[in-house]
Amino acid sequence: PARRTIRIGVAGGHYFAKIHSGIGWREILKELLHLKRPVLGARNEWRALQLLPRIGVHTMTPVAYGLRGRNPARMRSFLITEELTGTTSLEDLAAVWAVRPPSSRLRHALIEQVAAIVRRMHAHGLNHRDCYLCHFHLDLASAHEPVDPTRLRLYVIDLHRAQVRRCTPRRWVIKDLAGLYFSSLAGGKLTRADRWRFIRAYEQQPLRRILRERAAFWRRVERTALSLHRRLH
């Protein structure tokens, strides 16, 4: 309720403006009681959009940011980004896989690129907090038609809840990875072999070593994802 998004046209170009108004002390206290950092405005997304290109992750192009006020409950801010065109979300792309399966090369390339992006974000202290397939967009122009697995370009979008720190806490790493797992469950988009491929690409370790040293971590990711799936379905 404290954020609205509008599409605007300026000098022949199109942009999206996210306008944040104050969320009020009640919402701030509710978030704090749940041990969550409240989203007070557009600053989170602005910081994330500054960081991602520096670490080699494609995202929206920011063009303007503004902030007014010091009272966290009544602070107002805005963020304007260039419109992202010619893309499709991985959620939409995977939705047709049941009737039009992709080539194994394309499937593997997408899984490994998503894993590499998320690994890079976490390694540089950024967690998304809404890390679902719908927030990874494939650039159709760079991939060509039919999609060329060797020319993929993925964009990460909708970062208004993202957090940037020196080091990503384990709790938020698990939440991001569980979000991806959860969003892959709808419609049976990914197989167990696909998930192992993702884990290997994310960990950058042989599977034998992962099973020996990180099995408990990935069981926690799976439990978190399945718990979210049960709660929502």
Annotated active-site positions, please? Answer: 130
Please state, as a whole number, how many other Cβ atoms lie within 10 Å of the Cβ of residue 214: 15
- Cα–Cα dist 46/68, whole Å: 15
**How do strand 126-127 and strand 87-89 relate by DSSP bridges?**
unpaired
Buried b or exposed e, range 44-83, using 16+ CB within 10 angstroms: bbbbbbebbeeeebbbbebeebebeeeeeeebebbbbbee
Q: Which of 100, 108, 109, 158 is nearest to 130 (CA)?
A: 158
End-to-end CA distance of the chain: 24
DSSP 8-state code for residue 102: P
Q: In sequence order, what are the residues at sequence separation of 6 or more whose Cβ sits closer than 8 angstroms to the Cβ of residue 41?
A: 20, 67, 75, 76, 77
